[in-house]
């Protein structure tokens, strides 16, 4: 039951069943953001967030509010107030966050589509952990009105589904006419960190699974060495927690007992950041956005793993879990994560990055990979 914070009787009809991360306002429901301090003060929403209003108009059937990492401020999916959704791909491992309930709801078939949010990986990480598909949209593509904020210059609404076509359906519910382009690119750039910088250490089994999936889909793959990935991650994390501190400090001060220990730890870390830290991170943001933009000028799609290893057990969880996702948020770009076969469980996950506004192309590319490796 930890998957759901609130369940409803869906409207009649045959429209897609939609689960909503309890970060997004639904008229007649309370938004808790997965936090006791918020839940204790929340009032019933008097209107739908624009994304929800669009889903209703398109015939989607709302199934209820699903659980999340508290305040969407974390990536394990562990929630001290509402419980932790069980990872259906491997119940002993974390479900990933912050959109944990969204990923679990579609993985178990309790919903056809789920809405999530992604500020540093919060759609793609749970998708990878639970063996489903998750699309992080371009910053600003979908409206954030009626969505509980975390870091306003990074927050995005995203979609999760068991397969790529479910993600396409979810996007079409919110954007009339959304669909995949006719053909994905024939060449995919395979992002590789610069060994000289010691940027990223990826489990060889995960890397092999990503490369095998691209090969099976018949893409011509061109290696794309890229330096500075870890520096981009560090910059994004500093800016994210600084923005989150501005958003959340009032709530934490009013009700410190109603906020979990993990939130307090991150708020304290944010308080130690200096003006110089944030200025350097802002410079890195501009440089990194230009760098990825240049790579995408040569390759329409860039590929890399979503996670550097398998989802950990709770006691093994580390703070660099979003190392391969957060730099995408720093540049404001769209990315899709999808499962690919590997030895053992859960499956590995490949992440595809595109230029701003290229969600349709990413879905087409992901669909080609999915058909090749899963049929």
Residue at 275 is within a domain: no
Q: How far apart are CA 72 and CA 375, in angstroms?
A: 34
Average pLDDT, the chain: 95
Residue 94 belongs to domain spanning: 1-226+286-375
101 within a domain of the structure (yes/no):
yes
Asked if the structure places residue 235 within a domain, the reply is no
Residue-level pLDDT at 23: 98
Average pLDDT over residues 332-342: 97
pLDDT band at 344 (very low <50, low <70, confident <90, very high): confident
- Whether 103 maps to a domain, the answer reads yes
Q: Enumerate the active-site residues.
A: 21, 98, 122
- pLDDT of 92 > 80? The answer is yes
Q: Is the pLDDT of residue 193 over 90?
A: no
Give the DSSP per-residue string, 32-78: -TT-HHHHHH--B-SS--HHHHHHHHTT-EEEEEE--SGGG--SS--
Distance CA 277, CA 312 (A): 30
CATH code at position 143:
3.90.1300.10
User: How far is residue 320's CA from residue 76's CA, in Å, rounded to a whole number?
Assistant: 11
* b/e burial code for range 270-291 (CB count within 10 A of at least 16 → b): beeeeeeeeeebeebbeebbeb
In a domain, 314, yes or no: yes
Instruction: Please report whether residue 371 resides in a domain.
Output: yes
- The DSSP result for 257-273, as a single string, is GGS-HHHHHHHHHHHT-
Pairing of strands 301-305, 187-193: parallel
Helix (H, G, I), strand (E, B) or coil at 121: coil
**CA torsion, points 134, 138, 142, 143, in degrees to nearest 10?**
120
Mean pLDDT of 343-361: 94
Beta partners for residue 136, in sequence order: 158, 335
195 pLDDT above the threshold of 80: no
pLDDT band at 198 (very low <50, low <70, confident <90, very high): low
Q: How far is Cα 16 from Cα 214, in angstroms, rounded to an integer?
A: 30
Q: Which of 156-165, 319-328, 342-351 has the highest mean predicted lDDT (pLDDT)?
A: 156-165
324 within domain boundaries: yes
The SS3 call for residue 366 is helix
Domain presence at residue 236: no
For residue 5, pLDDT over 80 is answered with yes
pLDDT tens per residue, range 260-308? 999 999 999 999 999 999 999 999 999 999 999 999 999 999 999 999 9
Based on the structure, what is the number of domains in the chain? Answer: 1
Selection from 324, 275, 277 nearest residue 302 by Cα = 324
Full DSSP string of 223-261: EEEE--HHHHHHHHHHHHHHHHHHHHHHHHHH-GGGS-H
């Amino acid at each position: 039951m930890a998957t759901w914070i609130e369940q409803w009787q869906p409207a009649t009809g045959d429209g897609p069943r939609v689960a909503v991360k309890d970060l997004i306002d639904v008229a007649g429901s309370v938004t808790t953001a997965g936090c006791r301090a918020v839940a204790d003060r929340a009032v019933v929403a008097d209107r739908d967030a624009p994304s929800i209003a669009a889903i209703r108009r398109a015939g989607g059937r709302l199934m209820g509010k699903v659980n999340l990492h508290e305040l969407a401020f974390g990536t394990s999916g562990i929630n001290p107030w509402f419980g932790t959704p069980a990872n259906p791909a491997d119940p002993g491992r974390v479900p990933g966050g912050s959109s944990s309930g969204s990923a679990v709801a579609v993985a178990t078939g309790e919903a056809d589509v789920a809405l999530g949010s992604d500020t540093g990986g919060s759609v793609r990480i749970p998708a990878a952990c639970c063996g489903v598909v998750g699309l992080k949209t371009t910053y600003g593509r979908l409206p954030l009105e009626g969505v509980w904020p975390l870091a306003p210059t990074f927050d995005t609404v995203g979609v999760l589904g068991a397969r790529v076509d479910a993600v396409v359906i979810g996007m079409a519910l919110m954007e009339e006419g959304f669909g995949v382009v006719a053909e994905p690119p024939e060449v995919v750039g395979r992002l590789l960190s610069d060994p000289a910088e010691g940027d990223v250490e990826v489990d060889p089994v995960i890397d092999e699974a990503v490369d095998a999936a691209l090969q099976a889909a018949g893409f011509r793959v061109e290696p794309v060495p890229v330096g500075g990935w870890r520096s981009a991650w560090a910059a994004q994390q500093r800016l994210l927690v600084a923005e989150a501190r501005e958003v959340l400090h009032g709530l934490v001060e009013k009700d410190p007992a109603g906020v979990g220990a993990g939130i307090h730890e991150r708020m304290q870390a944010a308080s130690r950041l200096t003006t110089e830290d944030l200025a350097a991170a802002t410079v890195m943001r501009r440089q990194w956005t230009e760098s990825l933009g240049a790579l995408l000028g040569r390759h329409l799609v860039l590929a890399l793993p979503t996670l550097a290893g398998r989802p950990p057990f709770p006691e093994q969880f580390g703070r660099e879990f979003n190392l391969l996702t957060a730099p995408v948020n720093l540049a404001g770009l769209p990315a899709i994560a999808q499962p690919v076969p590997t030895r053992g469980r859960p499956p590995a996950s490949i992440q595809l990055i595109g230029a701003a506004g290229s969600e349709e192309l990413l879905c087409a590319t992901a669909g080609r990979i999915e058909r090749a490796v899963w049929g």
